[in-house]
Structure 1
Amino acid sequence: MAEDSGQEKTEEPTSKRLRDAKEKGDVARSKELATTILLLSAAAAAIMFGGQVADKMAGMMKFNFELDRQAVMDPAAMFMHLGYSIFEALYACLGFFAVLLVAAIVGPIALGGWNISMKAMAPKFSRIDPLAGIKRMFSLKALLELFKALAKFLVVGSLSFLVLYTSKQALFSLGSQDIIPAMSHATEIVIWAFLVMSATMILISVIDVPFQIYDYTQKLKMTLQEVKDEMKNSEGKPEVKGRIRQLQREISQRKMMAAVPEADVVITNPTHYAVALKYEQGGGGAPFMVAKGGDFVALKIREIADQHEIPVLSAPPLARAIYHSTDVDEEIPSGLFKAVAEILAYVYQLQRHKRRQGPAPKAISEQLDIPDELRRDE
C-alpha cells in the first residue's frame, strides 16, 4: 500500500464525486429497509382492512353459493355472478392495495432519495458478460449477501417458530369452534403473527442501513491525487486561470481607457503614475477617478489625454496619494478634497482663459495639502 502517495483511498468523497455518482444512478440503497417497510405496511393494512375484506369475501361466497337450479343453468346469470365477485373483491382490497402501493414507492427511496438516471437505464453489455457474472458470484460482496440471507433466515425462522409455539393453544382450539368464528379467529391469529414476524425485519434493517451507508461511502472514497485533480479540473488549470485573469485585465483596461476622454484632468507623477479625475458639477458628489495606471499604462493615459486635449498636470505627491488610495470609479478620499479642488480650479480657470473669458490662472502650489496617512513615498 502506498503511504501518502495518492494511491490509497483515504479521502472522503467530495460533493462533485457524490453528484456524479448520483447522475449515474449510484446511490445508497437498502433492500432490507424496503422489505421491512413493505411487510410492516402490509401487516398494518391487514389489521386496518382485514375485517372489511373478510366481510366482503363472506358476503361474496354466500352470494355465489346460494344459487338455484335456474341460475346455474343460465350463462348470463353466471357471468353476472362472476362480474359481481370481481368487483366486490377489488373493492374490498382497494385500501389494502393502496397502502401496499405507497409502501412499494416509499420503501426503495427511503435511503438515498428519489433518483432517476438515464445512464443507469442505458443498456450495458457488461451486465450479461458470463465471466463478469461468475466473478460477481464469488466476490466478497456475494459472500456477504449470503451471510445476510442466512442471518435473515435464522432470525425470522426462529421468531416464527416462537410465535407459532406460543399460539399453539389458540390454533388447536380452532377445531372445536364453529366455522364462522373459527375463520375469524384464524384470520386474527394469522394477521398478528404476520405483524410480529415482519417486525423482526426492523432489527435487520437497523444493522443493514448503517452498513449500506458505510459501504457506499467507502466505495466512493478518493485518493489524495484524485481530490487534487478534481479541484484542478473544477477550478481550472493554473495556466488557463492566468489567461482568464489576463483577458479580464485587458477588458477592464480597455474600458478604463475609453473613459479617459471624459476626464477633467490627468494628474501625473510625472512618469511612474497617472490618474484621470472627473468632477460632475451640480451632481453633489466628490471628484472620482475614471482611470489610473503605472509606467506603460500611465504613458498610455497621458497619450489619450493629449489626443483629446485633456489637461495633464504634474503633481507627484498627489498622483501617488490618489493612485494608492482610490480604485477606478471610486470617489477620492475626503482628505484629498482640498488638494484636488486646487487642481480643478486651476483647470477650469485655464479653460476659461483659453476661451478668452478670464485671466490666466496662477501656478499650482508645489506644497499641496495632503494628509500624512495618504502620502506615499517614491
Structure 2
Amino acid sequence: MAEEQDQERSEQATDKRREEFRSKGQVAQSREVQTAMLLTAMLLMWFFYLPFFWPRLQKLVAGIWSRSGEIRVNPESMYDLGMAIFGQVAMLLAPIMLLVLVVGALSSIMQIGFLLTGKPMEPDLSKLNPIQGAKKFISRRSAVEVIKSLAKVGLVGVVAFKTVYNEFGNSILLVDMPPSETMRFLGRTAGLVLFKSCGVLIILALFDYLFVRWEMEQKMKMTKQEQKEELKETEGDPQLRARVRSLQQEMARKRMMSEVPKADVVVTNPTHLSIALKYDRATMAAPQVIAKGADHLAMKIREIARENRIVMVENKPVARALYKLEIGQAVPEELFTAVAEILAYVYGLKN
C-alpha cells in the first residue's frame, strides 16, 4: 500500500472507478452554479411576479389594519388571526418556494445527472478523528474555498459599491420628491445592484464549475498499479487467463488430432507444414480442412498419418494455400483443380 501511495497518479480514471466515485456521492458539483441559478431565477420571477404580489400584500395589510379595532385580544382570536395571516402569506409565497425547489433540483441534475445515494450519510468513525478533522482546515481544498469566497465577496462588493456610487448623484434630487418616488428610486437601485451581482455570480459559477470538474478528474486519477489491480478484478489474473487459454488450445489440438485418422490425404510442405483433408461426396460439396499444423504440430500430424496409413503428398504451393484456411473450412474454388489432382492420385493409389 505504501508503494501505491508513492506512485504518481498519472493514469486517467476508468469507467469502473468513475462509477465507484459516483456511487459514493463523490461527483463534480459546484455550489456556485446552484447559487447563481437560484438568484437569477428569483430575480426574473420577482420581475414578473411583483405586479401580482405587491397589490395582494397591500390588501392583506390594509385588511388587518382596518379590522384591528374589532379583533378581541384572547388566545383563540390571536390563534385564528395568526393562522389566517399565515395561510394568505403562504399562498403568496408558494410560487417562490416552488421555484426554489425546481431550480435547486434542476441545477443539480444539469451538473451530475440524476443521482440518489445514501453513502454520504452512512456513519464513518474516521470522521470523528480530531487530527483528521484539523487537517481539513489547513488542506489545499480549504484554502481554495477561502480564496473563492473572498473573491466572490470582493467582486460582488465592488460591483454593488460602484452601482450605488453612480446613483448617488440622482439621490440628491429626492429631497423635493414625494416618499413614493424615494421608494421607487430605492427599489430600482436595489434591483440594479442585484442584477449586476447576478451577472458576476454567473461568471464565477462558470469558472468554479470548470475548476470542480478538473479537480475531480485529478482526484479520480489512478496509478499504474491500481489499473493493474482493477484489470485483475474485472478480467481475472493474467497468469490464470493465460493458463485457461493454454488448456483450451490443448483441448482444441487434441480434438483436431483425433480427426487426422479420418483424413483422405495429408498435404505437406517438406519443411514445416501439414494439412489434413477429407472429402465425402455424399455430405460435402468440396474437400474440407480437418487438421493443420506447423513445425512440431506438423510433425505430429505426419506421425499420426503414418500410423493410420494415410497418404502424404508433398506440394509446397498447395500446402501454403491450404494452411491459410480455418479448421472445418471448405477448399475454395481456386484450389479445386490442384486438390482434385491430389485426391485423384490418392484414390489411384488406393485402387
TM range (shorter): 0.7 to 0.9
8 Å CA contact retained: 2:264, 2:278: yes
8 Å CA contact retained: 2:292, 2:298: no
Give the equivalent residue in structure 2 for 1:362.
348
- Which amino acid is the alignment partner of residue 325 of structure 2? T
Q: Report the CA distance shift for 1:71/1:230 in structure 2 as closer, same or farther (over 3 A).
A: closer
Residue-pair matches, total:
340
SS in 2 for 1:267: strand
8 Å CA contact retained: 1:36, 1:198: yes
- Which amino acid is the alignment partner of residue 244 of structure 2? I
Deviations 1:285-332 (A, max 9, x none): 5333244343476269759x96xxxx9332232883465121113222
Deviations 1:177-202 (A, max 9, x none): 356x7666655543443222222212
8 Å CA contact retained: 2:32, 2:208: yes
Give the equivalent residue in structure 2 for 1:165.
165
What residue ranges of structure 2 are gaps of 5+ in the alignment?
none
The alpha carbon displacement at 1:259 in A equals: 6.7
The alpha carbon displacement at 1:79 in A equals: 7.0
Take 1:186 and 1:75, find their aligned partners in 2: how far apart are those partners?
39
The alpha carbon displacement at 1:249 in A equals: 1.7
SS in 2 for 1:13: coil
Q: Report the CA distance shift for 1:52/1:266 in structure 2 as closer, same or farther (over 3 A).
A: farther
Take 1:40 and 1:280, find their aligned partners in 2: how far apart are those partners?
83
Take 1:213 and 1:187, find their aligned partners in 2: how far apart are those partners?
38
SS in 1 for 2:266: strand
- Which amino acid is the alignment partner of residue 163 of structure 2? V
SS in 2 for 1:289: strand
Q: Report the CA distance shift for 1:196/1:257 in structure 2 as closer, same or farther (over 3 A).
A: same
- Which amino acid is the alignment partner of residue 314 of structure 2? P
Q: Report the CA distance shift for 1:220/1:202 in structure 2 as closer, same or farther (over 3 A).
A: same
Give the equivalent residue in structure 2 for 1:194.
194
Deviations 1:89-141 (A, max 9, x none): 33333332232222212334544444444544432112222111111112233
- Which amino acid is the alignment partner of residue 178 of structure 2? Q
Give the equivalent residue in structure 1 for 2:323.
324
Take 1:26 and 1:83, find their aligned partners in 2: how far apart are those partners?
43
Identity score, percent:
24
Take 1:63 and 1:258, find their aligned partners in 2: how far apart are those partners?
103
Take 2:280 and 2:46, find their aligned partners in 1: how far apart are those partners?
84
Give the equivalent residue in structure 2 for 1:30.
30
The alpha carbon displacement at 1:235 in A equals: 5.5
Give the equivalent residue in structure 2 for 1:64.
64
- After superposition, where does 1:11-30 map in structure 2 within 5 Å? 11-16=10-15, 17-30=17-30
Q: TM-score normalized by structure 1? A: 0.70
8 Å CA contact retained: 1:268, 1:312: no
- Which amino acid is the alignment partner of residue 315 of structure 2? P
What residue ranges of structure 1 are gaps of 5+ in the alignment?
348-360, 366-378
Q: Does 1:298 align with 2:301?
A: yes
Deviations 1:9-40 (A, max 9, x none): 36242324444433333222322222222222
Q: TM-score normalized by structure 2? A: 0.75
8 Å CA contact retained: 2:265, 2:311: yes
- After superposition, where does 1:198-213 map in structure 2 within 5 Å? 198-213=198-213
SS in 2 for 1:286: coil
SS in 2 for 1:362: helix
- Name the stretch that deviates more: 5-14 or 145-154: 5-14
Q: Report the CA distance shift for 1:165/1:247 in structure 2 as closer, same or farther (over 3 A).
A: same
Take 2:350 and 2:176, find their aligned partners in 1: how far apart are those partners?
122
Give the equivalent residue in structure 2 for 1:106.
106
Take 1:92 and 1:301, find their aligned partners in 2: how far apart are those partners?
95
Take 1:12 and 1:258, find their aligned partners in 2: how far apart are those partners?
48
Q: Does 1:275 align with 2:276?
A: yes
SS in 2 for 1:315: strand
The alpha carbon displacement at 1:157 in A equals: 1.9
- Which amino acid is the alignment partner of residue 336 of structure 1? L
Give the equivalent residue in structure 2 for 1:149.
149
Indicate the RMSD between aligned Cα atoms, in angstroms: 4.3
- Which amino acid is the alignment partner of residue 25 of structure 2? G
- After superposition, where does 1:250-261 map in structure 2 within 5 Å? 250-253=250-253, 256=256
Take 2:106 and 2:171, find their aligned partners in 1: how far apart are those partners?
36
- After superposition, where does 1:80-91 map in structure 2 within 5 Å? 85-91=85-91
The alpha carbon displacement at 1:52 in A equals: 1.8
- After superposition, where does 1:216-235 map in structure 2 within 5 Å? 216-227=216-227
Q: Which has the higher helix share?
A: 2
Q: Does 1:313 align with 2:314?
A: no
- Which amino acid is the alignment partner of residue 338 of structure 1? T
Take 2:105 and 2:83, find their aligned partners in 1: how far apart are those partners?
30
- Name the stretch that deviates more: 241-250 or 127-136: 241-250
8 Å CA contact retained: 2:273, 2:319: no
- Which amino acid is the alignment partner of residue 340 of structure 2? A
Q: Report the CA distance shift for 1:127/1:109 in structure 2 as closer, same or farther (over 3 A).
A: farther
8 Å CA contact retained: 2:152, 2:204: yes
Q: Report the CA distance shift for 1:70/1:29 in structure 2 as closer, same or farther (over 3 A).
A: closer
Give the equivalent residue in structure 2 for 1:334.
333
Q: Report the CA distance shift for 1:65/1:255 in structure 2 as closer, same or farther (over 3 A).
A: farther
Give the equivalent residue in structure 2 for 1:9.
8
